[in-house]
Amino acid sequence: MEHLLEEGLERLTIEYSYTKIEKLLEFAEEIERWNKRFNLVRAEGKEIITKHILDSLSVLHVIDEIKEELGEDASILDVGSGAGFPGIPLAVFLDNTRVFLLERSEKKVSFLKNAMLLLELKNTRVIKNDLKNLKGRYSIICFRAFSKIGNSAKYLIRVMQPGGYIVAFKGKYESVVDEITLIDDIFMYNEVLQVNVPFLNSERHIVVSTGLLKRIGNCE
């Protein structure tokens, strides 16, 4: 799996060190161990690398560009982190960035805390909560397989710093376009970017949203 991961990172033009490779492989192994009891993800072996780790890292360059604009103090909130995607792979590569993993499931929170300690991710914090009840403000809010942006916009806006960004992982272009039409009057800027995840045949896109046009309901 090491060769697969290295080749995948090279195709994504991501520079890596042996330490980072080691951490990601250790993370994949830990998922497999916990999967036997808790069914964290529907993947095993190489699929954890391709469907989850490389997919999570496909946005790394976009996150880097946003960080350049927002400054070094930018923080990342991974909403509905689950087994730690995309938050933990991003935290491994963005070791000078504060990464918050938001999860409400007790068993997944236990896994995330264990993984954070195992990988010595000192820049990472696990938050057991629901987005609806979350306090604080975050620079970059990202999520995979969480919900449509419009369905959660009220709560995402409430925890997004002024000038912040939402980065949402999505699938087929047609469904993404339909989703964008529902948030065009909420955010000034909504861009759909196609991402090519190595060794993955599924169609993948990300939606990058920023520039709040209006608030929805009681968002204060």
3-class SS of residue 87: helix
CA pair distance 128, 152, nearest whole angstrom: 18
β strands within 68-203, DSSP E: 75-79, 98-103, 124-128, 138-143, 160-170, 187-195
CA pair distance 192, 167, nearest whole angstrom: 10
Pick 177 or 4 by higher pLDDT.
4
Instruction: Count CA within 13 A, CB hemisphere, residue 19.
Output: 6
CA pair distance 6, 93, nearest whole angstrom: 14
The whole-number average pLDDT for the span 145-157 is 90
Paired with 5 in beta bridges are none
For position 218, what pLDDT does the model report? 46
Confidence of residue 72 (pLDDT cuts 50, 70, 90): confident
Write down all domains in the chain, each with its CATH number in brackets. 56-212 (3.40.50.150)
The whole-number average pLDDT for the span 18-43 is 95
The whole-number average pLDDT for the span 25-48 is 94
Pick the closest to residue 136 from 144, 146, 125 (CA basis). 125
